[in-house]
Amino acid sequence: MTTADDTQLAMQGTIEALTTGDGSEPVVVNLGPQHPSTHGVFRLKVTLDGEIVQDAEMRIGYLHRSMEKLAEERTYTQNIPFTDRIDYLAAMSNNLAYCLAAEELLGVEVPPRANAIRVMFAELQRVASHAMANGTFINDCGAWHTPLFHMFRDRERVLDMFEMTCGARLTTNYMRIGGVAFDLPDELLPTLEQFLADMPENIANYEALLLENEILHARARGIGLISPEMAINSSLSGPVLRATGVPWDLRKANPYCGYEDYEFDVPVGEQGDCFDRFLVRMAEVKESLKILRQVVDTLPDGPWLADVPLHARPDPGESYARVESPRGELGFYLVSDGGPAPYRFHCRPPSLINLTALKEMSIGGTLADAIVTLGSIDIVVGEIDR
């Protein structure tokens, strides 16, 4: 309580620092858990020498909700809403990965229409998530929210489509074991057509406004570098890995939901810096639109949900399914002991594993570079802590 004592203590520390050694000491600065740049409750403890980052320590767990343990008490179907909340910016991808794992465990055959709808929503989710990622990345570079709001326009339209299909915008809970919860509403396809028609112009606008921006180049080029070897050794995935030049995309490498039938390409970067990650995301949005076009054109008719009991009891065994979520390789590992609830429910979150490389990327740069690097990794704290 005593102010004088506190001041005196602080003074003593300063005096000690000044009288020992060369009179300077590194400053430890906490970025977070409440901080404008950390995209959630994530704490980055950086040791600074002036503006140069000497050490970066990630402290996670502020959003831990014990999802993996909770899931062991609920049936396979009841667990789907949990996956929404793991990566709340890509709920569809999380639904999908979990349902794929559960289907593998149950041995369910998914009808073709359901697969097409799943691909459609996973790609729409990618468009929305990348819009958010790129917008917040430029925000971290110091722009006054303008690119973010422009990209939110596109994300908003995607969320509107989610809402008209399943009633929810963020936590969709749309996928089911064996298909999807509802068939597409009549108004979805015209809306999607309009969206596909408008997007190329919007993307051309973003490219014209952002790609040649000298300040953005100066802030993001050559910052947060990571080599392909280091990226693979850190088991990075998603745009962060592809920006280093490694062409690894699960939609190609290990196709699911019929991705092998669609024609698309995997954009890869060259340098592995923040700007390449940004560019890879920009290019991936275009590829997603290509896939969406093909899905709309070849959407099969038929049932959208296989006949799976709500209270399914799979045989004892285990399964692992992985998808390419907007952030990288998202995997779900399920173990069944024959009961109605999974014996073990484990998630491989791309954000957490991509984040482990942050220390590598930010040491030696300035504080501002560390923030930009953090923004370019595109973390979702809900996924890191679960």
Assess contact for 30 and 45: CB atoms under 8 A.
yes
Give the residue from 376, 369, 383, 367 showing the smallest Cα distance to 52.
367
Told to check if 57 binds another protein by CB under 8 A, we report: no
By CB under 8 A, the residues from 284 to 313 that bind another protein are: none
- Under the binding rule (CB under 8 A), the answer on residue 256 touching another protein is no
Q: Which residue has the tokens 């038929």?
A: 302
Rounded to whole angstroms, how far apart are CA atoms 6 and 29? Answer: 19
Residue with tokens 């991705």: 259
Tokens representing 365 are 């740069």
Among 15, 17, 18, 27, binds another protein (CB under 8 A): 27
Judged by CB under 8 A, the residue of 59, 149, 170, 300 near another protein is 149
Alpha carbon distance 230, 244 (integer Å): 10
Only segment of 93-101, 109-117, 145-153, 349-357 that touches another protein (CB under 8 A): 145-153
138 vs 188 by CB, closer to another protein: 138
Instruction: Provide the minimum distance between the beta carbon of 180 and another protein in the complex, in angstroms, as a whole number.
Output: 28
Nearest distance from C-beta of residue 371 to another protein, angstroms: 5
Which phi and psi angles does 161 have, rounded to 5°? -65, -40
According to the binding rule CB under 8 A, does residue 59 interact with another protein? Answer: no
Q: Is 75 left (phi over 0), alpha (psi -120 to 50) or beta?
A: beta
Among 16, 263, 270, 337, binds another protein (CB under 8 A): 270
User: Quick one: which segment of 184-192, 197-205, 214-222, 341-349 binds another protein (CB under 8 A)?
Assistant: 214-222
Asked whether position 29 contacts another protein by CB under 8 A, the answer is yes
Q: Give yes or no for residue 153 binding another protein (CB under 8 A).
A: yes
The SS3 call for residue 301 is: coil
For another protein, which residue of 64, 211, 260, 311 counts as binding (CB under 8 A)?
211
178-204 b/e (C-beta count within 10 Å ≥ 16 → b): bbbbebbeeebeeebeebeeebeebbe
Q: Say if CB 267 and CB 289 are below 8 A apart.
A: no
Tell me which stretch binds another protein (CB under 8 A): 88-96, 103-111, 244-252, 312-320.
244-252
Asked if 16 is part of the footprint of another protein (rule: CB under 8 A), the reply reads: no
Q: Is 37 in the site for another protein (CB under 8 A)?
A: yes
Taking a C-beta distance cutoff of 8 angstroms, is the pair 367, 45 a contact? no
Window contacting another protein (CB under 8 A); options: 63-71, 213-221, 314-322, 326-334: 213-221
Query: How far apart are the C-alpha atoms of 180 and 193, rounded to whole Å?
Result: 21
How many Å is the maximal CA-CA distance in the chain?
A: 79
Instruction: Report the 10 Å Cβ neighbour count for 10.
Output: 10
User: Which residues form the interface with another protein (CB under 8 A)?
Assistant: 3, 6-7, 10, 27, 29, 35-37, 51, 138-146, 148-150, 153, 211-219, 221-222, 228-229, 232, 244-249, 252-253, 265-271, 273, 275-276, 279-280, 282-283, 366-369, 371, 375
